[in-house]
C-alpha cells in the first residue's frame, strides 16, 4: 500500500458532480486540489469526464429526434 498524497480523502464520489459542475465552489476547489496530487482520482476523473461527454452526446441526439 502506498500512502495517499494530499490531506483529504479520495474524491471519487464527488467526481460526477464535479464533472457536471454541480459542486459548491468550495468543494469544487477541494476536488481540483486533490486531483493535482492524486493519480488515482485523476484517472477516475478522466473516465468520468469521458462518460459525461458521451452522455451529453447521447442526450443531444435524443433531443434531436
Near Zn ion by CB under 5 A, which window of 8-16, 18-26, 49-57? 8-16
35 binds Zn ion (CB under 5 A): no
14 binds Zn ion (CB under 5 A): no
For residues 34 and 10, is the Cβ–Cβ distance under 8 A?
Answer: yes
- From candidates 15, 23, 38, 48, binder to Zn ion by CB under 5 A: 38
| Cα distance between residue 27 and residue 12, in whole Å | 13
Nearer to Zn ion, 37 or 57 (CB): 37
For residues 33 and 6, is the Cβ–Cβ distance under 8 A?
Answer: yes
41 binds Zn ion (CB under 5 A): yes
For residues 56 and 40, is the Cβ–Cβ distance under 8 A?
Answer: no
Amino acid at each position: 500500500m502506498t500512502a495517499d498524497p494530499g490531506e483529504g480523502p479520495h474524491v471519487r464520489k464527488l467526481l460526477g458532480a464535479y464533472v457536471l459542475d454541480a459542486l459548491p465552489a468550495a468543494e469544487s476547489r477541494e476536488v481540483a486540489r486533490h486531483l493535482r496530487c492524486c493519480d488515482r482520482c485523476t484517472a477516475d476523473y478522466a473516465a468520468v469526464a469521458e462518460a459525461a461527454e458521451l452522455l451529453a452526446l447521447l442526450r443531444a441526439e435524443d433531443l434531436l429526434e
